[in-house]
Amino acid sequence: MIELDPARDAPLYEQLYTALADEIRTGQRKPGQALPGRRTMAAQLGVSVNTVDTAYQMLAAEGLAEARPRSGFYVQKTYGMLHSRTVRPVPPAPAAPAGPLPRYDLSTGSVDTGLFPARSWGRLQRDLLYQRPELLQRGEMQGDAPLRAQIAAYLSAYRGVDCTPEQIVVGAGIEYLLGCLAHLFAGQTAAVENPGYTRTRTVLQNNGIPCVLVDIDRDGLPADALEQSGAGLCYLTPSHHFPTGVTMPAPRRAQLLAWATARPGRYILEDDYDSEFRYDTRPLPSLQGMAGPDGPVVYLTTFSKSLAPGIRIACMVLPQSLLPRYRRDFAAYANTVSRFEQQTLCEFMAGGYFARHLARMRLVYKRRMETFAAALRGALPGVRLQRVHSGLHFLLTLPGAGGEEAMVRTAAREGVRLRGLREYYLARPELCPPDTVVAGYAALQEEDIPAVAAALARAWVR
Amino acid sequence: MIELDPARDAPLYEQLYTALADEIRTGQRKPGQALPGRRTMAAQLGVSVNTVDTAYQMLAAEGLAEARPRSGFYVQKTYGMLHSRTVRPVPPAPAAPAGPLPRYDLSTGSVDTGLFPARSWGRLQRDLLYQRPELLQRGEMQGDAPLRAQIAAYLSAYRGVDCTPEQIVVGAGIEYLLGCLAHLFAGQTAAVENPGYTRTRTVLQNNGIPCVLVDIDRDGLPADALEQSGAGLCYLTPSHHFPTGVTMPAPRRAQLLAWATARPGRYILEDDYDSEFRYDTRPLPSLQGMAGPDGPVVYLTTFSKSLAPGIRIACMVLPQSLLPRYRRDFAAYANTVSRFEQQTLCEFMAGGYFARHLARMRLVYKRRMETFAAALRGALPGVRLQRVHSGLHFLLTLPGAGGEEAMVRTAAREGVRLRGLREYYLARPELCPPDTVVAGYAALQEEDIPAVAAALARAWVR
């Protein structure tokens, strides 16, 4: 029996509504069943007819009950039917790594954010919040113009990218930008590097672009194999192939550009994901710069590694030939990056913070790589380290340690998390060089390096 | 003739490299042409052979020149070919509104950000930057758990949404989330409301979901017409149809849910875009709540209107039936919203700022609507205002003002920007009621209301 309490905060009609709604939801009142007449109910509960009527109207308004003219209120027929659907328990979100967290993480995604100038970033951002209220309003679809100008200047100076700010599109991560590109390239097939980024293939396929795998050779993706693949689109990491670390030499770049220019509609997607970090010579300029502002290259890069993974800013440079269609088809879209973060990055670049931060990180990572490499060579007799001079990871080969899988397993047992090179082969794993793992050192603290080397020695050296 | 100057900062090899690179880019040195021998060039310039060699190596590294064994350096063959592509001038990004900015903007997208508590938001955000460095690292794919918990609680309390935090996906705008849904519903056809949001149709179609238009009646989208359309997917704005403002009554909601449950795989996309703002009764709860946590409804809403358009946070509630596939296919994706903004919103909600801000805005917008409506009724004899009690716009009908197009044109001449209702008809404009425009008042300052009413009187009253 329903109890109403005038002493409670909620008005009586609300209390009645809630009680009846519960009875309907729990099935105590069946679909199609009549609710008591308003007078009857009012008398039973000792409340006014208005109170009951309001509660009934609320039930009707919410689709729990329906009013039938000259007849009264009935529990909504379709309601029970809908709720009779068996409600499966929600599967928990997939937990990150299985088992206990590793003491030392050598996986490639990680970045050392301990040196991020959070105070400068925070001050710039706060000032914008207080002084630039107009940033609360919607901004430009491709990203705010001042930020695009900063990015264009930076990419031209550091990456040899040849473009104007009008060609730049700022977006909340490479996945989102690849999704936009997938629309522009609908109907095409994309060649992706094997081994390579699983993620890229997933994103392209999720967006309706079928992918064919092309095996790389020692110079990266071969132009003749690309030609034979029949693909019209090609995803590349020429500056620093993921995960093998190969830097594509100039002649191979020229061949691939020749492939792209040989037929209209062919394009190369150049992912320049971690080219900021190269320690021997100055990095090779981008393929995009070689191809020119209307060349057949879409340049993609992210700030996740140069700033922090938690700040979601990436960008792409569209060839002039793709701009009109992009602008037509995406005119209704709002940009996906908060304007405060766009403008904070803009000031961060304009104020020279970004260049200083990058220069600093380059030194830190270089020293870290050198210390780590030395420690590994000391602890692991016969170890071979490849492609140490760029990016934030290198290849580690150690014959006689039981093979790749055993190396990963025994390292994990010693608290070191890393992945085997074979895991990055999307096909034909037999092409994978043996006894090789991928060692990312970006998040590795210098003081931990001896311990990591020792742990790997315990794991791998008999 | 190349001039090198030892006094300049740049080292000589760099100066030489730059000079030669320019000559190659500008075509003064032709593709395939040999560069002078190293000794010859060194003698000509009075520099060391090493200097010349370094410059040549840099040209080769950048793909401008190629080294041929036992022969020397040549201008890269493919290079000129690539750059011979005619470079079209970059079209300027489309300018927002044509002509001079209107003095008064009654378009529907706008929001009054003048009352946004920027200082509280800024303080929360700054504290996070200083105290929660771990937020610089990558977060959960669906969005940070504490934020999803806040959103689930809010949607349940204010919108009758029936879900757990596990069902919530945070994303950088409705367009991005619709893109994800398009993948989950690949192969389906979507029914969209006519009149309705052009944007939704564009986004769905850009993502490969064909759309069919279904004409709404006085209660919104009719279930029988939906059945006949053959669509398996249906996009709705039931709380407040855009742009007509119709609130879908409970029986129609039940019919549409019956349509969705009649066949497995049918889903309704419920866009609850501005339901926070309703001024007469409490808003109708969501369709999703009526359908239950595993009902056939995907609930979508944005914080653009409740916070600010410049802060890009939206979310969707997936039915349990779609979660496993979503998590499998998007496992590799990073969330598109910066973690600092996610956590700032989380604290903003947890600290009660959000509820207070919404309550305040509801009052402000209500008074604004009432004042504006009164002013219009006073200034425009015979005017009819419809659907004033919810959302941030209403319909204005004025017979004898020369018809919709003339009303929009003459209003613009008086400095008032608004759109005609017919513009929102994606098909069959003949169904559009005559003499009707859409008046958005969210960005209209109270002190301007008399001037706007007077301007419209000058424009429309003879």
Q: How many contacts does A have with B, using Cβ atoms within 8 A? A: 297
Is B81–A281 a contact, with Cβ atoms under 8 angstroms apart?
no
Band of pLDDT at residue A116, cut at 50, 70 and 90: very high
pLDDT class of B82 with cuts at 50, 70, 90: very low
pLDDT value of position A22: 79
Q: Are A260 and A296 in contact (CB under 8 A)?
A: yes
- The per-residue pLDDT for B32 is 86
- Partner-chain contact B310 A86, CB within 8 Å: no
Chain A positions touching B251 (Cβ under 8 A) are 63, 66
Q: Same fold for the domain at A12-84 and the one at A104-112+356-460?
A: no
Confidence of residue B85 (pLDDT cuts 50, 70, 90): very low
Whole-number percent of chain B with pLDDT over 90: 65
Q: What element of type H or E holds A60? A: helix A49-61
Beta bridge partners, A144, equal none
pLDDT at residue B81, rounded to an integer: 41
Give the pLDDT of residue A150. 94
**Arithmetic mean of pLDDT over chain A:** 89
Higher-pLDDT residue of B429 and A158 is B429
Interface touch B130/A122, C-beta < 8 Å: yes
3-state secondary structure of B449: helix
| Residue the block writes with tokens 């080397």 | A453
DSSP annotation string for B72-86? EEEE-HHHHHHHHS-
Note the pLDDT tens digit of each residue in A59-100: 877 667 888 888 899 987 755 444 433 344 455 555 554 455
| Interface contact A116-B136, CB threshold 8 A | yes
Which numeric CATH code is attached to B12-84?
1.10.10.10
| Residues whose CB falls within 8 Å of the CB of residue A77, separated by 6 or more in sequence, listed in order | A31, A32, A66, B254
The confidence score (pLDDT) of residue A8 equals 80
Encoded tokens for B346:
């989380």
Cβ A157 vs Cβ B164: under 8 Å: no
Q: What is the ipTM of this complex?
A: 0.81
Q: Are A394 and A387 contacting, i.e. CB atoms less than 8 angstroms apart? A: yes
Q: What is the mean pLDDT of residues B293-310?
A: 93
- Whether omega before B429 lies within 30 degrees of 0, making that bond cis, reads no
The answer to whether the Cβ–Cβ distance between A164 and B206 falls below 8 Å is no
CA A90 to chain centre: 24
Comparing B404 with B59, the larger pLDDT belongs to: B404
Q: Name the least confident of A210-214, A256-260, B23-27.
A: B23-27
The residue of B73, B131, B137 whose CB has the most chain A CBs within 10 angstroms, and thus the best one to mutate to test that interface, is B137
B157 vs chain A: nearest CA distance in angstroms? 13
Distance of alpha carbon A291 from alpha carbon A318, whole angstroms = 12
- pLDDT of amino acid A209: 96
Do the strands B416-417 and B419-420 form a parallel or antiparallel pair, or are they unpaired?
unpaired
Query: Å from B378 to nearest chain A CA?
Result: 32
Token digits of residue B154:
């809010």
pLDDT at position B378, please?
A: 97
Contact call for B137 and A113, based on CB within 8 A: yes
Q: Do residues B148 and B168 lie in contact, with contact meaning Cβ atoms separated by under 8 Å?
A: yes
Q: What is the pLDDT of residues A174-188, one digit of tens each?
A: 999 999 999 999 999
Q: How confident is the model over B408-435, as a mean pLDDT?
A: 95
Residue B140, token pair as written in the block? 């959960």
**B151-158 long-range contacts, Cβ below 8 Å, gap at least 24?**
B151/B315, B151/B349, B154/B349, B154/B354, B155/B286, B155/B299, B155/B301, B155/B317, B156/B289, B158/B276, B158/B283
Whether B403 contacts B434, CB under 8 Å: yes
Residue of chain B nearest A260, judged by CA positions: B82
**What is the predicted pLDDT for the residue at B128?**
92
Determine the Cα–Cα distance for residues A424 and A144; give it in Å rounded to an integer. 37
Helix axes A49-61 and A38-45, enclosed angle (nearest 10): 120
B259 in Cβ contact with B223 (< 8 Å): yes
Q: What is the pTM assigned to this prediction? A: 0.82
Look at A78-92, A266-280, B190-204, B313-327 and tell me which has the smallest mean pLDDT.
Answer: A78-92
| Residue from the list B62, B253, B335 with its beta carbon closest to the beta carbon of A250 | B62
A380 and A389 Cβ atoms separated by less than 8 Å: no
- Confidence check: pLDDT of A321 > 70: yes
Beta-strand runs (E) in B278-417: 297-302, 314-317, 384-386, 393-397, 416-417
E strand or H helix that includes residue B451 = helix B449-460
Instruction: Give the contacts of A374 (CB within 8 A, at least 6 positions apart).
Output: none
Count the Cβ atoms, other than its own, within 10 Å of residue B443: 19
In the predicted model, what is the mean pLDDT of residues A317-342?
95
**Which residue, B330, B410, B341, B303, is CA-closest to B125?**
B341
pLDDT at position B48 over 60: yes
Instruction: Give B133's contacts in chain A (Cβ within 8 Å).
Output: 113-114, 116, 118
pLDDT of residue A282: 61
Would you state the pLDDT for residue B90? Answer: 53
The answer, yes or no, to whether residue A26 has pLDDT greater than 80, is: no
Helices (H) then strands (E): counts for chain A: 16, 15
Instruction: Say yes or no to pLDDT of A338 above 90.
Output: yes
- A309 to B136: CB separation less than 8 angstroms, yes or no: yes
CB contact under 8 A, B295 and A339: no
Closest Cβ opposite residue A312 in set B137, B202, B338? B338
Domain ranges of chain A: 12-84, 104-112+356-460, 118-354
Cβ-proximal residues to A157 (8 Å cutoff; 6+ apart), any chain: none
pLDDT attached to residue B12: 86
Predicted local distance difference test score (pLDDT) of residue A90: 53
Q: Would the CB atoms of A254 and B77 count as touching at under 8 Å?
A: yes
3.50.50.60, 3.90.1150.10, 3.40.50.1820, 3.20.20.70: CATH of A104-112+356-460:
3.90.1150.10
Distance CA A307, CA A21 (A): 51
pLDDT at residue A1, rounded to an integer? 75
What is the distance between the alpha carbons of residues B87 and A294, in angstroms, rounded to a whole number?
Answer: 6
Residues on chain A touching B329 (C-beta within 8 angstroms): 202, 206
φ and ψ at B284, to 5 degrees? -60, 140
Chain B: give the shortest CA distance to residue A87, in Å.
6
Q: Do A90 and B164 touch (CB under 8 A)?
A: yes
Is A92:B325 a contact under the CB 8 Å cutoff?
Answer: no
pLDDT band at residue B401 using 50, 70 and 90 as cut-offs: very high
Q: What is the pLDDT of residues B259-288, one digit of tens each?
A: 999 999 999 999 998 888 887 766 678 999
Percent of chain A with pLDDT over 90: 65
Mean pLDDT of all residues in A138-161: 92
CB contact under 8 A, B78 and A257: yes
Which residue of A lies nearest to B94 if distances are taken between CA atoms? A327
**CB contact (8 A) between residue A330 and residue B206:** yes
Cis peptide before A133 (omega within 30 of 0): no
Mutate to test the interface with A, among B18, B164, B333, B357 (most CBs of A within 10 A): B333
pLDDT of residue B80: 44
Instruction: Kindly state the percentage of chain B with pLDDT values over 70.
Output: 94
pLDDT on residue B282: 61
> Does domain A118-354 match CATH 3.40.640.10?
yes
Using pLDDT thresholds of 50, 70 and 90, give the confidence band for residue A401: very high
Based on DSSP, count helices (H) and strands (E) in chain B, helices before strands.
16, 15
Tokens of B151: 């959103």
- Asked if B323's CB is within 8 angstroms of A135's CB, the reply is no
Quick one: average pLDDT of B422-427?
94
Question: Which residues in chain A touch residue B312, judged by CB atoms under 8 angstroms apart?
Answer: 172, 334-338
Q: B118 pLDDT exceeds 70?
A: yes
Among A144-153, B66-75, B302-311, the range scoring the smallest mean pLDDT is B66-75
3-state class (DSSP) for residue B416? strand
Mean pLDDT of B333-341: 95
Read off the pLDDT of each residue in B163-176 and give the average, rounded to a whole number.
96
For B169, which residue in chain A has the nearest alpha carbon? Answer: A93
A368: pLDDT strictly greater than 70: yes
A281 CB neighbours in chain B (<8 A) are 61
